[in-house]
Structure 1
Amino acid sequence: MAETLLHRQRTHRPQPPRPPARPGSLLGGLVRTARPRQWIKNVLVVAAPAAAGRLFAPHAPVRLALVFALFTACSAAVYLVNDARDAEADRAHPAKRHRPVAAGQVPASLAYAVGGALAALAPLAAARLTTPAVAVLLAAYLAMQLAYCLTLKHVLVLDLVVVTTGFLMRATAGGLALGIPLSRWFLITTGFGALFMVAAKRYSEAVQMAGRAGATRALLTEYTTGYLRFVWQLAAGVAVLGYCLWALEDGDAAQTGVLPWRQLSVVAFVLAVLRYAVFADRGAAGEPEEVVLHDRALALIALAWLALYGLAVSGC
């Protein structure tokens, strides 16, 4: 009896309060919340200048690096606010509970404060250091992404549109910074290419969560895998069609080099889409950056496409 009472006293002994986070771990937590691995998406700011053959024009690298940094700040602001808002829900998730805000490493109030400061400063810096068009684009991106965090991520189809539009905004920002007109084929290929990857990511998440309700984003329970498969297949087809129409536009007039590089680049582009579709079909495209960076065959195809595309836009 006495041993049982002693055991209960030890079991219910109050736990000491969690020590406050050290400055180093707090800073590290803020950086982790800003999702450094996702910053690679902001490389899309070079898409329009590269498509126009203006990637190495005077002052272009410096301006594009600045736009990249501003988009990274905006993305970090959105992630900070999102994690602060979803901290309670993330604590019930097997993977998201390790996020710094959910784990208590970063206070939610600090995440809100840093996110709000970045969201306010980035458009102001863009207005001063770049062009008014880029500042307006960044402000619109922030408004859309914050609305997504609050409500739009719970709305069917609209959630796909918002994420896709975010990618398209990144791709157009570099063109706006350098005053490059954006062609209809560029917008079609980029927009539907982004939708392809977004829908493939959702499809992969839906396949992986089958039979595990609540294991990931709740909206996936409203989609069917058949519908998501239809979306990424449709988007892939339109992206390929848009690219082919660009490559074949004006026929011989577009061929200024020794070989028809534009037409030849279609082969590499289609192969890249088909290779990525393999992972999408398996339900293994839940982390697009992992697929792109770690699949050797896809990397080689991408390098071949870059070489052919570079030859096409440079007129070699």
Structure 2
Amino acid sequence: MGNLIALIRPKQWTKNLFVFLPIFFAGQLGNQASLINCLLAFVAFSFAASAIYCINDVLDVEEDRIHPKKSKRPIASGAISIPTAIVICVVLVSLSFLIVYLFSTTNKMQQMFILACYVVLNLFYCFYLKKIAIIDVMTIATGFVLRLIIGGFAADVELTHWIIIMTYLLTLFIGFAKRRDDLVLQKNNGTILRKNTNRYNLEFINQVLCLLGGITIVCYIMYTVSPEVIARFNSPHIYLTTIFVLGGIVRYLQLALVDEKTGSPTEILIKDRFIQASLVLWILSFYLIIYLNG
């Protein structure tokens, strides 16, 4: 059971919390039916993501065996065989679609289409796109946008261009920080851990991180002072939430450029108190603005 859990990586399911952003920002958390549909979409997307992890580990088994951390994964270590992993993958994908088809009450076909897009996109990623520098990170960021879209369909909420842009920029930033960590490991171990790392170097990624971090902060400020956003939330104080976004991004840059500890965004979220505090305060501030304003 422990090896199965390690294979499907439930810790990574925290990434799928993006599914709940549309219902949160729409002020519909109190709508029980919509919340249940979002929860179903979250579980379905989590199963689909775990299925992709299985396929990725099967394809990367040789590379994982020379990685200091990934060598302990069930397939790389031999704890779970490749045929077994493929069967688990098929079961997870089937459950993902069945959950939406049988239990969701809003936009079933649209949600299933988004799930299919995610699975197909990530199959392309596993087999080919992850070998192409820049495209690999852009593909990962697109996966997070798909999480938003399925959340919008589940809650029957129309997404704004702001939430899509901000999600894409932020996940691009985090994706490149993770690539930097791979380069640092490669430099320290003298072993090529990714096939596309020859198209990256530390100077390039450092500049990209600073560029994306700056663009993300500027876009967020533009979002908070946008007349349409102020009108939607009926509050002129949204700009105050910028302090938490700024603090979180700068802290992530510190972890990447100073501490060189950006291997897993999920682990950082679980362990880093500064980023945890920034995220909690950001969510709390929006909760106060959306749900308790007036």
> TM-score when scaled to structure 1?
0.84
**Is 1:294–2:271 an aligned residue pair?**
yes
Alignment correspondent of 2:17 = 43
Alignment correspondent of 1:19 = none
Q: Is the 8 A contact 2:34 2:156 kept in 1?
A: no
Unaligned runs of 5+ in 2: none
Alignment correspondent of 1:268 = 244
Percent identity of paired positions between Structure 1 and Structure 2: 27
Alignment correspondent of 2:78 = 104
Alignment correspondent of 1:179 = 156
- Any idea what the Cα deviations from partners look like across 1:16-37, whole Å, max 9, x if unmatched? xxxxxxxxxxx33222111122
Judging by fraction of residues, say which structure has more helix: 2
Distance (Å, rounded) in 2 between the aligned partners of 1:229 and 1:295: 21
Alignment correspondent of 2:281 = 304
**Cα distance, 1:158 vs. partner?**
0.9
Alignment correspondent of 2:168 = 191
Query: Superposed, which structure 2 residues align to 1:192-271 within 5 Å?
Result: 192-250=169-227, 253=231, 256-257=234-235, 260-271=236-247
Alignment correspondent of 2:35 = 61
- Any idea what the Cα deviations from partners look like across 1:272-307, whole Å, max 9, x if unmatched? 222222112222212212222222222222222112
**Is 1:284–2:258 an aligned residue pair?**
no
**Cα distance, 1:197 vs. partner?**
0.8
Distance (Å, rounded) in 2 between the aligned partners of 1:172 and 1:244: 23
RMSD, matched Cα:
2.0
**Cα distance, 1:186 vs. partner?**
0.9
**Structure 1 pair 253/87, CA: closer, same or farther in 2 (3 Å)?**
closer
Partner letter of residue 288 of structure 1?
Answer: P
Distance (Å, rounded) in 2 between the aligned partners of 1:117 and 1:300: 37
Query: Superposed, which structure 2 residues align to 1:57-136 within 5 Å?
Result: 57-130=31-104, 131-136=108-113
**Structure 1 pair 36/45, CA: closer, same or farther in 2 (3 Å)?**
same
> TM-score when scaled to structure 2?
0.90
**Structure 1 pair 217/267, CA: closer, same or farther in 2 (3 Å)?**
same
Work out which of the two has the higher radius of gyration on C-alpha atoms and give 1 or 2. Answer: 1
Partner letter of residue 96 of structure 1?
Answer: K
How many residue pairs get aligned? The number is 288
Which is further off, 293-302 or 145-154?
A: 293-302
Q: Is the 8 A contact 2:233 2:290 kept in 1?
A: no
